[in-house]
A and B are shown apart, each in its own frame.
Chain A
Amino acid sequence: MHRIVALLMVVVAAASCRSAAGGSGPAIVQPGAPGEPARVIAADRAADLSGVTHSAADVRFMQGMIHHHAQALDMVGLLDTRTASEAMRALGRRIELSQRDEIAFMRQWLQARGEDAPDEHAHHLPGAPLMPGMLSPQEMDRLAAATGVEFDRLFLDFMIGHHDGAIAMVDDLLASPGAAQESEIFAFTSDVVADQRAEMERMAAMLAMLEELHK
């Protein structure tokens, strides 16, 4: 019992450490930099995020990344008829799922902000930009012409470069003034990098095994 009483006194002491004055109603406060005092601000200023709305660089990034991811789907589309490896097909299915999911997110992000949202075939149109890591038409033809192990090797090589391009695009975005300030696109950049890295790691291991088997 003594212990409980002693501890009850601790609770009383605890309550006295912090104070909250009543009366004038809750305020919206904005702290300053470390060491600076906090100040009261008005609600309309508190909710004003006009400085962190999406930028032109964000829109270019999202539109470009749709083209970029769409080409990955084209590459995966070649797997069915050109590879003999079930592991390659499984890899293709995983890539397709993640790239489609990200394309859906990017299209919605653009639409919700009233921006043009290219569909996944728009990169075939003349004048569509070639984003970092994307295959040129000649490289795409080379891949389409290959079969068997030769195809697998080329596919892995190209897709690793392709994914690396997506990471370079995120780096470019983050190096652009006023970019990725909004919560959704910021979170998306982390996801894109993590997904591409994981798949690149996987593909690098598959490529190494392939080289080992077919020295």
Chain B
Amino acid sequence: MRCCGARWVLVALAAATLVLMVRLGAQEGRPTAEDPRVSLKAGFRDAGVAARNLELVATLPKPEGFFDPSAPAGSVVPPERLPRPGADPNEPEPAPPVPQPQPAGGGLNFGNSDLAFGDQYVFVGNFHGFTIYDVENPRRPRLVASVVCPGGQGDVSVSGNLLFMSVEQTRGRVDCGTQGVRGPVSAERFRGVRIFDIRDLNRPRQIAAVQTCRGSHTHTLVTKPGDTENLYVYASGTAAVRSEKELEGCSGGDPRQNPDTALFSIDVIQVPLASPQTATIVNRPRIFADPATGNIAGLWRGGGHGPGTQSSRATTQCHDITVFPEIGLAAGACAGNGILLDISDPANPVRLDQVVDPGFAYWHSATFNQDGTKVLFTDEWGGGTRPRCRATDPPTWGANAIFEIIDRRLRLGGYYKLPAVQTAQENCVAHNGSIIPVPGRDIMVQGWYQGGISVFDFTDPTAPFEIAYFDRGPIDPTNLITGGHWSVYWYNGHIYGTEIARGVDVLRLTPSEHLSQHEIDAAMQVRTADFNAQQQSKVVWPGTSAVARAYVDQLVRTNGIQEDRVRAIRPALDRADRVRARERGAAAVAAGLQALAKQVTADAEPAPLREATRLWSLAAALENRAASLR
């Protein structure tokens, strides 16, 4: 049982809104030499900061027990040696400077990773376990508990009273011990998906530990509409297959020699909600199979796509899968391919389409837009520990690729990459993000490791543009120390980011010519009880004035609405905000809004499709606002 029912819970907030002058803005956020993110001062705790239309409201270092006291910032990563696409690889490159030897430190052993949300709590995954913060007041997060249970990467998801965590490393132990596992084959080792009971947040209890052959690098919670008794987990393993002496049925290798290889599949775990401790693997579907030949290694075989192209990993695994159960689809970022899956039967996903990209090294993660008509894939070129946002790195490598979903197939629109150049001391590439629920637009916030945070619009998949950013200088002035924002997600009005080395950041959006206060207000009125970024659902906005005002602002921005209509709608919404439902005068205000809705619907008749759609949305928002007064 999900503890808490509806996933998206709407709360109509008092819409304290200002009428904001919105003007058509120049395309700010395009790369410029004067971008304040370029050449920020380095430092672990005192790095220079550049921010635009994003305000940092709280930042917390990692708690005690989650860093190496002898090297709190982590350890050094080797200098960059490669690849400079376009450069002649035969031409000798200057030898990189040898970094100063430093203590090995914790490095990724204590790295913060993915995060999940439930009620007023944020669950921060870490290679070493997870931490829980109370963010009832997002400006003053309070540490509730830090939970030691190592094994990396520690990606977490939350559903009701259950927390799920991915473990892939050979040091992972069934008993959450920190001492590692010495034996190459050991009953003490744990690699797979842990399940914790989090009813008592001060003392989370491990209730199940589902072992898998390759461990779990990431996982995704999947629901089946109508099935309230089960939850499913898609576990993706990317590391070595363990010996069958350690876990029965595990063997690796080439499928031509070993048709039972644990490569070329994902693990589907079924979790009966009445007895989650009995969770077990129910399928290892061959989602990369060639339907014509039955060859389970049916997708990208690894290598380049021709002269001047990226070398893409072979598709032996998915790195991450994002599901959208209401529309029955999942998007898999699967090493050498982006794939689309039909998940109407979650235990038996069926591949619908697959794409490759000549600039993608490693298909890493996926995010649907709000209505599931687009999907954005990321490329983690360099694995996340390398600097891939230098001036010499191509804008379509290590970037996002945005696809439209047409007839359940993927069609490429365009690319988005962090538009500010970063140094060779900053690991930087596209990484994890989530949708900001602004009605009528596709807006995403995303972490770029030490490239910082970027908020961008991809409503037009061929022309994405940046709206806001937050960036710190490198951790160290001369060495690359792995750090930066791993995951950055919107949750109930604020933006939360995990910083691998520095801790957790909480930010809020501020209005600009690209995003009005009304649009932000409308997004903030969408509330949810749990949130896992890889488990998406449709957003329904409340019948508030802010939602209608957001559409008006958007139409004004594109000259899609008559001025006199705007002059009528805005005061009508003001009037609506001054009366209470069913109070004297409310019926007249509601009737006025309905009349405006009719006019707007008529305006949509001759308008081009994009404006017409927005006008219909505005009309619906006005109708909803009127309905809320009755």
By a beta-carbon cutoff of 8 Å, the part of chain A in contact with chain B is: 1, 4, 7-8, 10-11, 13-15, 17-21, 26-38, 41, 43, 45-49, 51-54, 80, 90, 93-94, 96-98, 100-101, 104-105, 107-109, 111-114, 170-171, 174-184, 186-187, 189-191, 193-194, 197-199, 201-202, 205
Contact = CB atoms under 8 A, between A and B. Distances in A.
Contact of B65 (A43, A97, A108, A197): A43
Contact of A104 (B79, B161, B176): B79
Contacts of B90: 80, 93
B5 A10 contact: yes
B119 A112 contact: no
Contacts of B121: 18, 20
A170 B170 CA distance: 13
A47 B145 contact: no
29 contacts: A7-B9, A8-B11, A10-B4, A11-B9, A17-B199, A20-B144, A26-B143, A28-B145, A29-B203, A31-B204, A35-B206, A36-B206, A37-B205, A46-B66, A47-B67, A52-B171, A52-B179, A90-B307, A97-B82, A100-B81, A108-B78, A112-B75, A112-B99, A177-B182, A182-B171, A186-B152, A186-B239, A190-B240, A198-B312
B238 interface: yes
Given A11-B527, A198-B314, A52 B180 contact: yes
Nearest to A37: B205
A11 B11 CA distance: 9
Interface in B503-550: 527, 529, 542
Contacts of B239: 186, 189-190
B148 interface: yes
A190 B199 contact: no
A107 to B, nearest CB: 7
A93 B581 contact: no
Contact of A181 (B78, B142, B170, B529): B170
A186 B169 CA distance: 7
Chain B interface mostly: loop
A182 B184 CA distance: 14
B299 to A, nearest CB: 12
A73 to B, nearest CB: 12
Contacts of A27: 145-146, 202
Contacts of B301: 198, 201-202, 205
Interface residues of B, number: 108
Nearest to B75: A112
Given A101-B81, A183-B111, A189-B240, 15 more contacts: A7-B9, A10-B6, A14-B119, A17-B161, A18-B198, A26-B63, A47-B69, A54-B104, A109-B78, A178-B182, A183-B107, A183-B109, A186-B168, A193-B240, A198-B311
B12 A38 contact: no
A15 B201 CA distance: 12
Contacts of B184: 174-177, 179
A15 B198 CA distance: 12
A78 to B, nearest CB: 13
B61 to A, nearest CB: 13
Contact of A191 (B127, B178, B314, B383): B383
A177 B185 CA distance: 9
Interface string B52-73: 0000000000011111110000
Given A32-B206, A201-B301, A202-B303, A104 B78 contact: yes
Interface string B87-105: 0011000001011011110
B64 A20 contact: no
B247 interface: no
B89 A97 contact: yes
A17 B3 contact: yes
Given A19-B200, A41-B148, A104-B78, A198 B5 contact: no
B152 to A, nearest CB: 6
A36 B197 CA distance: 11
Contacts of A31: 147, 149, 176, 196, 204-206
B302 interface: yes
B277 interface: yes
A191 B170 CA distance: 15
A19 to B, nearest CB: 6
Contacts of A48: 178
Contacts of A53: 104
Contacts of A7: 6, 9-11
A26 B134 CA distance: 11
Contacts of A112: 75-76, 99, 101-104
B63 to A, nearest CB: 7
B587 interface: no
B442 to A, nearest CB: 25
Contact of B206 (A21, A34, A182): A34
Interface in B402-457: none
Contacts of A184: 75, 107-108
Nearest to B217: A190
Contacts of A34: 174, 206-209, 277
